Amino acid sequence: MHPFPHEYEVSAAASGERLTLRSGELAPIESAAPAEFDGPGDKWSPETLMTAAVADCFILTFKAVAAASRFEWENLECRVKATLDRVERVTRFTHFVVTAELTVPAGTDEAQAVKLLEKSEANCLVANSLIAEVALEPSVVVSPGR
């Protein structure tokens, strides 16, 4: 890992209804307002990108935590439900629910698996950067033995 601080830069450009996000050598992303804000609902929006960032960061954090713990796992599926609301006349995200389903090999210590999921939620830098509440709903599925 590179020493801190890390800096990230994104550019956004709009022409008519088209809005494009760019960052370095990454593929551009087209963005639009979500359907809830009378947008077309067929593109990534700031709201869906924020929600995706929580899910993405959670999984990447889990991968690092699991590797450091030498913990074997097979699959991790993460769904994040974000709530956007008006609080004291300010529109903001108020709550994120992270539902994480971890599949592990037979014989895995399920309590350790849950602890690693909880550690990942506690160390997710995106979630830690939010003022909204973040709740984890972990579950562990044991693969059938071979």
List 15's β-bridge partners, or say none. Answer: 18
Q: Which of 119, 81, 82 is nearest to 99 (CA)?
A: 81
Q: How far is CA 80 from CA 98, 99, 127, in A?
A: 5, 6, 11
Residue pair 139/101 in contact (Cβ under 8 Å)? The answer is: yes
What confidence score (pLDDT) does residue 16 get? Answer: 84
Q: What is the pLDDT of residues 115-139, one digit of tens each?
A: 999 999 999 999 999 999 999 999 9
Q: Encode pLDDT of 1-59 as tens digits.
A: 899 999 999 999 999 888 999 999 999 999 999 999 999 999 999 999 999 999 999 99
State pLDDT tens for residues 80-115: 999 999 999 999 999 999 999 999 999 999 999 999
Contact 80, 96 (CB under 8 A): yes
Would you tell me which CATH number, out of the four given (3.40.50.1820, 3.40.1160.10, 3.40.630.30, 3.30.300.20), belongs to the domain 49-142? Answer: 3.30.300.20
What residue spans define the domains of the chain?
Answer: 49-142
